Chain A
């Protein structure tokens, strides 16, 4: 399977704990995006990378959120000191910078904070 893969698919944690999500993009894609989706809403942009450089961060991305893409391949999204409001689906997408703008999404990682 050469699509975007995310791990874990579902994470249940207690408030205050740290969680980390991993995204493996399509191998030839140099852009990687993180979005958050809550019930009844569309995906909300969090951040994106071109290769290993983090080029943009949404103001939705508080100081408790950090994303990395150390070698320009896979990426991690860490949430520290989770809050109940962090409960959402975290979507990763990848694309080619020279492409038509189409994003290829993974299946998402669902976070439930108790």
Chain B
């Protein structure tokens, strides 16, 4: 059962433009959402998170938006840089159950 879905396996954007990565979830018990970035031959690294009590969280060039009614979150990267090229995983957690589920990932390519 895929409770966290990233429907776009890949995304390509030009340097300096905005990258928007999308994620949908089905479990209404999820109350914490995270984005991880993964470079080849490395483990995923934490990027940004948002609690279900918020609808937006910013950290520098990265902003995560949460729409609970639609069970949808998105990651905005602006401006995009070539070093942002990586696979981005969306993750959702029910912190009471300590159960974190990951999406299949979106490969972002930022072209110079």
Contacts and interface: CB of A to CB of B under 8 A. Distances in A.
Contacts of B98: 31, 48, 55-56
A41 B101 CA distance: 12
A67 interface: no
Main secondary structure of the interface of B (DSSP, over half): strand
A4 B99 contact: no
A101 B49 contact: yes
A45 interface: yes
Interface residues of B, number: 25
B89 interface: yes
B41 A107 contact: yes
B53 to A, nearest CB: 13
Contact of B102 (A40, A44, A55, A108): A44
A48 B93 CA distance: 14
Interface in A43-86: 43-45, 48, 55-56
A45 B43 contact: no
Given A42-B102, A48-B98, A102-B34, 5 more contacts: A33-B100, A41-B104, A101-B100, A105-B36, A105-B45
Interface of A: 4, 31, 33, 35, 40-45, 48, 55-56, 91, 93, 100-108
